[in-house]
Structure 1
């Protein structure tokens, strides 16, 4: 019987990270059905070139071993980059003597700096791993679903070997933003993601995006890279994400400063996201400064961890005259506090330049919180007529929506958010599995040699 092997390696190794992709992986795995249409669904990780069935995604209460696992992973990644450096230098050498000296130096350095520490940490970590997962043998006909952020992992060669031995590969694609909008990312991430996507383009048999918008982008990009004939052997589909906050804990305390924010009747507009350029926080500041200068009592609240390329924005926020008056920022709220914010805010504002989905939108709207967002395709796909849209080239368009809402008390969307319905994580996980299985059944027998090597 074919099995669906749902990979969650990065979340398994980094359970404390709680941004978008990690939230998706954790929720999909925790709601994974046991089987669909006689296809068993198995959460798996790929560690040190071996396949494991996940028994417990969250770690045992052992901080030392969790830290050791993270150290081990970083050490192995550094060793991989050292090997890449050696390979480039070896290719540049024209002298055989220089090549031999370089090789000897490489082997000695590898043994001293990486070999012994990696062997030791692997042995310790393996004992701990077997409490959370168990070795799993793959079978021809299995389908490996790369659900996690696999561009962070160094298991390309192992996946290629699985493919040669009859295992299909399905890639979950969250977005192509590092390729389509590289200005929003650091050069290293762009390079890593581009190399990964080039590999996955030639390796995967099918692609499951998180929105119809991203599915169409992926199909177009794959076709551009490998041509119509090769892309015709692949399949393309999508599933939608759920909306529950899985780390919400009724026993946890709500941040007192956040509670204080909602003790007055003045409206609070909530922005939930990592603080990074693509999310366009500066646009909100521009819009609300216009509103404030015109006498608006609306308040703006940023919620999200500090990301990258945001020094200027943080300086602007921290030096702002309205900070802690009509402008607020929380960088480390737990899910309980976030749930409280969704329940008490007046509206969500989401001015992103580009998104693969927009998870805070469904989290907010499913709780009855109306949302205003930038007028981009994926927000139209999710919000339809239940959202209000503004022009990200014109802050005044958002100011007009805020003023209309505040003056009339009627949210400026065509339909009321109370009539909007969305799926939960159980349905989202089932969508992923059912749609993947339907394509696997129909998938033509493709050559096992159609793969490329990670660089």
Structure 2
């Protein structure tokens, strides 16, 4: 006889936890499925955090589920029918109730549905078998007879959708792309989202995969339309038809970064956890925390709220060990609430131009002049890739090149990236620079295909950022054997290892001169030896943290 355990939230809150743990664990027969079911409170709906904090002290997240049923004021006949349906859906044919007065009055006015099991009882609990198999139709018949009000009917409908468990049905991994589907700004994160989403959707997994999106303050997610390599939202007329119903065993991967969309769903994420739906976040960096002066205050505030939501989820998968360590540090110093079962892992991003998404080969207007320098081996062409924003180090690089140009250097600096925020002085400096179009080229809105051309034909990449989550241009350069001069920061050392030339703060000019001398003798660090993943391998590594758990 397979037994589940049922409680009211009120009883759990006042029960000695060691007694609870011992009594339950001594009788658990099926540890591969939930065996504790919390049915709500007679006083008020309990915050999911309260139940999670009680049970999370000694049980895994897979061990317990919760639905807010008691406070609806339904008849005991309907309550018992719903609970019986839920327990049958998990394969149980009996349940144990402790000396919980709320549960006793909630379920047992009608004694025909259950029988006490005499050979399984104790001083603090009673075991009941369910004597009559139930199904959804039997529940609906009682609902019709009980004439529920609108609120009761609405809540019962939600509960019935929650507990509809079909063991033979494939579970679903939902992949959130809520920024990409609305605004494709071709940022580094969005390039990653597109590549990883494409790979994951192509895999043959034990889960079905669906792309989803939502809006800030919306209570629901919606399935995205995937057309070739573009993503489309649903029309207002059809959006309700594509609303997502989550079931026990499903998982949500917040692949995209959309802070306000995520943190306005913090309570939804917590409620889903109690229904067996796990949520995971990709953490790309903690730069608004480590470099707040580089961001507008609204974004910093949004990011903090987002991080508080991340640590309420089942887990974070960071894009580098450096980011993982920074997240651990933030958790330990911020004092924010953390989900008891939260874990923090990392994976590395990929680069694989031969199989990446379809790219445009459009050339910029400056291409003809720039390519004259590129094909002329007497010129060194240095490449920077990334949004022009304060932390990216463009000021240091431009200072170094201006000094070299004053020293009669003919070196070429190519900056690839759109104008970012909080950078008006640098942008004006670039736009009015005397060397613009001569030795300095700023390419905005560049096609992916032409970026590949620059990686393949430049002399060296300069990665001068003061802070990054990973440093995707490093491995993109390594794919083409493009040498690298990089700022000496931990994440770049993690990604590039000994296969880049590093400079210290304030020493870039000297570093470029030293590197040029090494390059003349072919003794500079060679990026070809750098280890990196393909996008397929990167997606495999990411999913190994989610699917295996």
- TM-score interval, normalised by the smaller of the two chains: 0.7 to 0.9
Partner Cα distance (1:33, 1:262) in 2: 38
Three-state SS of the structure 1 residue aligned to 2:236 is helix
Which residue number in structure 2 is paired with residue 210 of structure 1? Answer: 319
* Aligned pair partner of 1:427 in 523, 537, 540: 537
Which residue number in structure 2 is paired with residue 167 of structure 1? Answer: 277
Which residue number in structure 2 is paired with residue 453 of structure 1? Answer: none
CA contact (8 A) 2:310 2:316 kept: no
* Aligned pair partner of 1:17 in 181, 185, 197: 185
**Residues 1:142 and 2:250 aligned together:** yes
Measure how far apart 1:239 and its partner are: 1.2
Q: Which moved more, 1:139-148 or 1:301-310?
A: 139-148
Partner Cα distance (2:304, 2:494) in 1: 26
**Residues 1:364 and 2:477 aligned together:** yes
Which residue number in structure 2 is paired with residue 125 of structure 1? Answer: 236
CA contact (8 A) 2:260 2:306 kept: no
Partner Cα distance (2:185, 2:489) in 1: 28
Partner Cα distance (1:311, 1:256) in 2: 24
Three-state SS of the structure 1 residue aligned to 2:442 is strand
**Residues 1:178 and 2:288 aligned together:** yes
TM-score, normalised on structure 1?
0.74
Three-state SS of the structure 1 residue aligned to 2:485 is strand
CA contact (8 A) 1:351 1:392 kept: no
Three-state SS of the structure 2 residue aligned to 1:9 is coil
Partner Cα distance (2:506, 2:523) in 1: 22
**Residues 1:437 and 2:547 aligned together:** yes
TM-score, normalised on structure 2?
0.62
Measure how far apart 1:387 and its partner are: 0.8
Give unpaired runs (5+ residues) of structure 2: 1-169
Three-state SS of the structure 2 residue aligned to 1:145 is strand
CA contact (8 A) 1:370 1:411 kept: no
CA contact (8 A) 1:210 1:241 kept: yes
* Aligned pair partner of 2:226 in 56, 69, 74: 56
Measure how far apart 1:243 and its partner are: 1.5
Inter-CA distance 374–288: structure 2 relative to 1 (3 Å threshold): same
**Residues 1:192 and 2:302 aligned together:** yes
Q: Which has the higher helix share?
A: 1
Inter-CA distance 326–405: structure 2 relative to 1 (3 Å threshold): farther
Name the larger-Rg structure. 2
Structure 1 vs Structure 2 CA RMSD:
2.7
How many residue pairs end up in the alignment?
370
CA deviations over 1:247-268 (Å, ceiling 9, x no partner): 5536x33225224312232111
After the TM superposition, which residues 26-425 of structure 1 pair with which residues of structure 2 at under 5 Å, given as runs?
A: 26-32=194-200, 38-46=206-214, 48-56=218-226, 124-127=235-238, 134-153=242-261, 154-201=264-311, 203-226=312-335, 233-244=341-352, 246-249=356-359, 252-264=361-373, 265=376, 266-405=379-518, 408-410=520-522, 412-413=524-525, 416-425=526-535
Three-state SS of the structure 2 residue aligned to 1:274 is coil
Give unpaired runs (5+ residues) of structure 1: 70-121, 441-455
